[in-house]
RNA sequence: UCCUUCUUAGCUCAGCUGGUUAGAGCACAUGACUGUUAAUCAUGGGGUCCCUGGUUCGAGCCCAGGAGAGGGAGCCA
């Protein structure tokens, strides 16, 4: 079947009357003469010029929005103004019809909410074409980044029996008959009879297994799906999302921050270089959208400038304690403009506080470190002050927390003590504690929510629009 | 899960103080035109006013319950 060229490549060539075959889907058909054909390789359409006098009427009728077709003809300099080249068609073959009365996509602007309901067709729009080409490009660049630095790509399990990670509510995995599960002598569900002979769940993080591998390969990363059964209904949460989790042996919190910052800048630089067209499209789209907002709500930088800004400026590194001081002394706090006023050390920062730090005070990405141990996980390394742990969160404008990481507690006695304090049974994690028993070493890692990165890079505002088929509470279509 | 706003044609939306036959633009169909750029012009078809119940002579509009969506918050990545 395939013996044609991608439109992206054709648009790059200079037209010399060469014979060309293309396949794609009709975006619009104007004047019974001009087909805007798109094959997903780029947002730019190839204009196919049909000789309507020489084409059977029945064929013309079948050239409708959404129809798949193959066109062969000569590539010439366009006689019209909107494009430089066009294909003067000799033959048009309708590969797949599209009933114009029923096809939901029109050559006009649709709301993102409507397109979300037809997620199976939204790839065919300019916006989602750009978004998912960028998503692809970013995913590829993640692997390139780590591969260039000698990291081993580790596939951590999707199904897990460990439920001590504390990263969130989990989805149970079972093949027991849920209408009539087997019970043990105490009347509890008897998971010994379940598929794995024990209670199992979908993973909420690959970190603990990642640490095991890092204690052999030195530098590893995972990049896979994770699942959280939290009832979170926001534009920044998904029940199924993709996470990138590097883990590095013989590294501390500072190496960790350096890697995270280097990686984010690498990925942004990669798309600025390789996906300029799609970024320009999204940047313009955003500007158009913002014209409808009042002046004071518009963003100061365009999407392209915002991305460039992240490359040109070091991320601001501040400790939790410094952040609390800044917030407490801010006019915003003194004038009681925060819903939650900042008064004492030890409270968790609300997203209004994070936004203030990133968007108002520093006006650039911020790395917050050394959080109070009470508000962080058991595995984070305790600092010498006895109050804080070597945790780091990277906050991005418009997104909030995009990276969460830490130096891990490598000292067995301190780790065991902390687990006891937090009520985490050591016997469940003996395999994890073994890394601290046999050749323990300082190590660190972080988790990057891939969709949050795609949100930031594309300038989209709802996380459901940067994953093909979003899974959220009460929504699992397609 | 909490607060808040919304749900009317395929899409985006209007619909006055509760009043009799629910509108517009786009899309679609038919025709005209034929170098168009979301083509243009003319004509036409198209409605479970989210669902259930209630108030009323009369409900798209008022009341109660439910469902779904958007924005904000919490949990986090």
| CA pair distance A269, A311, nearest whole angstrom | 7
Quickly give A34 CA vs B40 C1' distance in Å: 15
Quickly give A35 CA vs B31 C1' distance in Å: 22
Quickly give A473 CA vs B62 C1' distance in Å: 33
What lies within 8 Å, CB to CB, of A311 at 6+ separation is: A265, A268, A269, A272
Mean pLDDT of A18-37: 93
Over residues A387-428, the pLDDT tens digits come to: 999 999 999 988 889 999 999 999 999 999 999 988 888 888
Residue A288: which pLDDT band, with cuts at 50, 70 and 90? confident
Nearest nucleotide over every DNA/RNA strand to the A404 CA, judged by C1': B77
Looking at strand B, which nucleotides approach a protein CB closer than 7 A? 1-2, 10-13, 26-30, 33-39, 67-77
| CA pair distance A75, A71, nearest whole angstrom | 11
Nearest nucleotide over every DNA/RNA strand to the A64 CA, judged by C1': B28
Q: Which CATH class is domain A7-107?
A: mainly beta
Over residues A318-366, the pLDDT tens digits come to: 999 999 999 988 888 888 888 888 888 888 899 889 989 998 899 899 9
| CA pair distance A405, A82, nearest whole angstrom | 49
Q: Is the pLDDT of residue A3 over 80?
A: no
Q: How many CA atoms lie within 13 A of A250 on its CB side?
A: 5
Q: Is the pLDDT of residue A41 over 80?
A: yes
Task: Give the total residue count for chain A.
Answer: 478
Quickly give A113 CA vs B69 C1' distance in Å: 8
**A59 backbone dihedrals φ, ψ, rounded to 5°:** -70, -45
Quickly give A468 CA vs B4 C1' distance in Å: 29
> What are the residue boundaries of the structural domains of chain A, listed by start?
7-107, 124-169+204-465
Task: Give pLDDT, residue A475.
Answer: 87
| CA pair distance A365, A318, nearest whole angstrom | 11
Residue nearest to nucleotide B74 (CA to C1'): A232
Q: Is this complex scored with an ipTM above 0.90?
A: no
Q: What is the CATH number of domain A124-169+204-465?
A: 3.30.930.10
Quickly give A106 CA vs B77 C1' distance in Å: 35
Nearest nucleotide over every DNA/RNA strand to the A102 CA, judged by C1': B10
Nearest nucleotide over every DNA/RNA strand to the A31 CA, judged by C1': B36
Q: What is the pTM of this model?
A: 0.93
Residue A11: which pLDDT band, with cuts at 50, 70 and 90? very high
Task: Give pLDDT, residue A54.
Answer: 85
Count Cβ atoms below 10 Å from residue A47 Cβ, excluding itself.
20
Q: What percent of chain A has pLDDT over 70?
A: 97
């Amino acid at each position: 079947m395939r013996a044609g060229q991608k439109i992206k490549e054709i648009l790059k060539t200079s037209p010399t009357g060469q014979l060309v075959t293309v396949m794609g889907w009709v975006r619009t058909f104007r004047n019974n003469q001009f087909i805007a054909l798109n094959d997903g390789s780029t947002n730019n359409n190839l204009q196919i010029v049909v000789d309507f006098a020489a084409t059977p009427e029945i064929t013309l009728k079948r050239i409708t929005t959404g129809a798949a077709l193959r066109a062969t003809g000569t590539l010439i300099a366009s006689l019209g103004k909107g494009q430089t080249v066009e294909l003067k068609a000799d033959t048009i073959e309708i590969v797949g019809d599209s009933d114009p009365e029923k096809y939901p996509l029109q050559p006009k602007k649709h709301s993102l909410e409507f397109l979300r309901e037809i997620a199976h067709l939204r790839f065919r729009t300019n916006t989602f074409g750009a978004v998912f080409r960028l998503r692809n490009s970013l995913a590829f660049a993640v692997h390139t980044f780590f591969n260039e630095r000698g990291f081993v790509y580790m596939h951590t399990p999707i199904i897990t029996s460990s439920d001590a990670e504390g990263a969130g509510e989990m989805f149970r995995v079972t093949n027991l008959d849920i209408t009539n599960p087997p019970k043990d002598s105490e009347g509890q569900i008897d998971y010994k009879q379940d598929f794995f002979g024990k209670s199992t769940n979908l993973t909420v993080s690959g970190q603990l297994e990642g640490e095991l591998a890092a204690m052999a390969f030195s530098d590893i990363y995972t990049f896979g799906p994770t699942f959280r059964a939290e009832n979170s209904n926001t534009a920044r949460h998904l029940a199924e999302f993709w996470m990138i989790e590097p883990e590095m042996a013989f590294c501390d919190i500072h190496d960790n921050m350096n890697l995270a910052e280097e990686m984010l800048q690498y990925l942004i630089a990669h798309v600025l270089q390789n996906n300029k067209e799609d970024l320009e499209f999204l940047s313009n789209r955003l500007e158009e959208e913002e014209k409808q907002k009042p002046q004071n709500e518009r963003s100061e930088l365009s999407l392209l400038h915002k991305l460039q800004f992240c490359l040109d400026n070091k991320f601001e590194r501040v400790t939790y304690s410094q952040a609390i001081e800044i917030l407490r002394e801010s006019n915003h706090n003194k004038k009681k403009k925060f819903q939650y006023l900042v008064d004492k050390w030890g409270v968790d920062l609300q997203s209004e506080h994070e936004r203030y730090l990133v968007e108002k005070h520093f006006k650039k990405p911020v790395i917050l470190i050394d959080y109070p141990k009470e508000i962080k996980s058991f595995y984070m390394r305790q600092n010498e002050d006895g109050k804080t742990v070597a945790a780091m969160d990277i906050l991005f404008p418009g997104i909030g927390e995009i990276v969460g990481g830490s130096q891990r507690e490598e000292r067995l006695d301190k780790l065991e003590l902390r687990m006891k304090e937090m009520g985490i049974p050591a016997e469940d994690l003996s395999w994890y504690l073994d890394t601290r028993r046999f050749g323990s070493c300082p190590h660190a890692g972080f988790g990057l929510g891939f969709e949050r990165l795609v949100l930031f890079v594309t300038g989209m505002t709802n996380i459901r629009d940067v994953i093909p088929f979003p899974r959220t509470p009460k929504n699992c279509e397609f």
